[in-house]
Structure 1
């Protein structure tokens, strides 16, 4: 039998199986790689291998999960070299929506996709990271994990122990109640929109941090600001500049946490924020301004032109405004 798109019945069945599992495959790859674009490429390569395979796997889920994991491990090994040479702080590409859901593992899935957790995963070796993601996040059994990473079950158990130890030592803490997080983030973003600096400041933790991933490709005043006074000053400066380019602030979940997307007057993306909230205060603001990491969010603004326009009347310039030296 040949289907309407020219594929045989078996091929159509495989395509349907693959599409059903695609959200899971992407979610595995993203947590291993920390990159939306690389995860999508890994998923596409997984399909090509599945389509070309003549063997009929006993479990398409196990086969496809193992395939995407192996591809992601190989990509991560080469990506780690590039990340060591990255200009300034490196963050994962912001993820607006995780396509995979599992009510039985909702807590693990939500925590594992946060910026803070993904940065902890960066400290693990590629094999440790893959084992942790498959076992601790998605609940795969050790036989499946072993098959996916090409190691014995005993070796995978040891990798899992090491990975759990590293992750537990730096495990991020977040506000437990999602509704509370969202309410506080809403107040914070509204205060920013209205230029209510007192309102902004009262929502910041005393040791709050604002950290920027610009990758040498966007203007900045610095990579990292720590403490209430310094972060409040940066936010006040941004609040002064943004109206000059008619920028808007769109509340949006980013990596499973409250956040925002900033857009210029044409609706193009300037940057994203991801907010860590604990004890009723903003603990960390992670902002991604590197345009290479924002293409999947939407059309990207010319951030250099936007900041030149914003600063034209202000008479100020962000530090290191030359693209070759900014971080």
Structure 2
């Protein structure tokens, strides 16, 4: 196998490591590309190509994350990762760890860790690298990496919410919710919400937002009551889709351009959390992005005409 073939074989793993450290599809892709460039010019053949590439992409991702954290501290409103529709790396032996670490809830928790803690947690707890490999990747001793891993696990375990683990049940409930949304039936939507449901949106100040966070079934239902008719009036579409390994949807305008992604967390047969990503900068890797401000103005005009017609 040539070096290029070895790299291509490991590319899914490298991207998956970088994405979990960075929470950004575009930055993860750049980190993988930079890893390839460094691999090309490496003066020696590494003993383990996998170890070399994993260490390289980790170090690049740590450097990128350190600079990104400054930008995220000034971010407008809640920060969510860029939505990932499909994880390219699959490992049946670690499927549970991979799926759990991909969720938006887990990636938001990872934001609370230092870059080193985050990298160690991803390599050790998610991908199962041994401590010598982790130590080599992050440039710390094995003892230091064990301490970093312990602190990271403690933070993650303390903040991790309990959600429904059965994918079939999650998908079934999300399907009922999206059907009711398409039908404009806010009453049915309300019945599917947990009493303490939260709806949280990430617009980054670059897309329409009724508010950053709504808590409680009554408040979330009120927002849905405002959104649903506008969505229907502009002929937009709802496309059920797995988002970050959870039941969700892609919302598109009538031309098929991406408006938003929604992802649902489910508990005890009710929707517990709705996370929406509306920031167009975080949606561009999914294809053409709609101008949400134009869509909102069109929807408001159409809704206004509809109300006048009913008087």
TM-score higher than 0.5 here?
yes
- 2:98 matched to 1:109? yes
Distance 1:86 1:243 in 2: 31
Question: Where do residues 146-295 of structure 1 align in structure 2 (5 Å cutoff)?
Answer: 146-295=135-284
After TM superposition, which residue ranges in structure 1, 4 or more long, deviate above 6 angstroms?
none
What is the RMSD computed on CA atoms of the aligned residues? 1.0
1:118 to 103, 107, 121: 107
The corresponding residue for 1:92 is: 81
Q: Return the offset for 1:237.
A: 1.1
Gap runs ≥5 in structure 1: 1-11, 317-327
The one-character-per-residue Cα deviations of 1:239-297 (angstroms, maximum 9, x if unpaired) are 11012211000000000000000000100000000111111110100001100000011
Distance 1:97 1:119 in 2: 18
Gap runs ≥5 in structure 2: 306-311
- 2:4 matched to 1:15? yes
The corresponding residue for 1:300 is: 289
The corresponding residue for 2:57 is: 68
Deviates more, 1:305-314 or 1:109-118: 305-314
- TM-score between both structures, scaled by the size of structure 2: 0.97
Aligned residues: 305
Distance 1:171 1:230 in 2: 24
2:125 to 136, 142, 160: 136
- TM-score between both structures, scaled by the size of structure 1: 0.92
Q: Return the offset for 1:315.
A: 4.4
More helix by share: 2
Distance 1:98 1:50 in 2: 23
Distance 1:295 1:105 in 2: 30
The corresponding residue for 1:324 is: none
Distance 1:30 1:176 in 2: 22
Q: Indicate conservation of the 8 Å contact 2:14/2:57, yes or no.
A: yes
